[in-house]
Amino acid sequence: MRLQGEIAIVTGAGRGIGKEIALALAAEGASIAAVARTLSDLEQTVAEIKEAGGDAIALSRDLTDISQVQSMVDAVVEKYGKIDILVNNAGGYPKEIYDITKNQAIKIWDWSEEQWDQIIKTNLKIPFLCTNKVIPEMIKQKKGNIINISSRMGRIASQMGAYACAKAGIVTLTKTTAIQAQEYGIRCNAIAPTILDTPGQRAYNHSVGQDEIKMGNADCMGKAALYLICDAPEVMTGQVLDLFPTV
């Protein structure tokens, strides 16, 4: 129970990667604030945590809205008195960014402004807003741990347009946050996974005719998050943990 007494916010915790991380942190004793838009998904995550003897609350919020981000922070502080861990996982991409008729991602010159803005907002603005509102609470206690979820697509050249650009932005957001927050005892690192086997990813693969694509096991994300929080050296900050083959 290495995280006994710790309070963790996990965004996008209703399913997939966020759920895996929430369950892993809870298994080590952390109390979890599971946050996403869909309350029914969050309630399932919370139920599983409680069934295993853990503690969790579900908070339905639109995290693209700064007032709702502040409401999330206020609710967690009111319930638990502090915030020790923030996992910025919420994000994703719509099937419309892939042209199934041509079996390729939409070209950068064919993106609409609305598509671009929406994906940047979902994948880069949300982590910024959550970090912006959570760090002041961490500064009060002179400690904290932030984990941002990037992607393999943000680490190498990718066809995935705005999504890849947003996930690359996560890497720089991580490093900037680490530099600026380290004097307050706050660490910020990122995880960049390959394509993982989650219900959402399987549904996306099916929608674009790629059911055969090879995927990694999603439980690796919980293990990676625990490593960064519990096992990594205290001086490790501003780093990206790549979870994909390099050869």
User: Hey, what are 35's tokens?
Assistant: 């946050």
Q: Region of 103 please: left (phi>0), alpha (psi -120 to 50) or beta.
A: left
| Alpha helix stretches (DSSP H) within the chain | 16-27, 39-51, 66-80, 113-120, 126-141, 161-181, 199-207, 220-226
How far apart, in Å, do the first and last CA atoms of the chain sit? 36
**How many C-beta atoms surround the C-beta of residue 148 within 10 A?**
27
Of the candidates 163, 184, 204, 227, the residue annotated as catalytic is 163
Tokens representing residue 189 in the block: 């690192």
Could you confirm whether 227 is annotated as catalytic?
Answer: no
Mind telling me the catalytic residues? 163
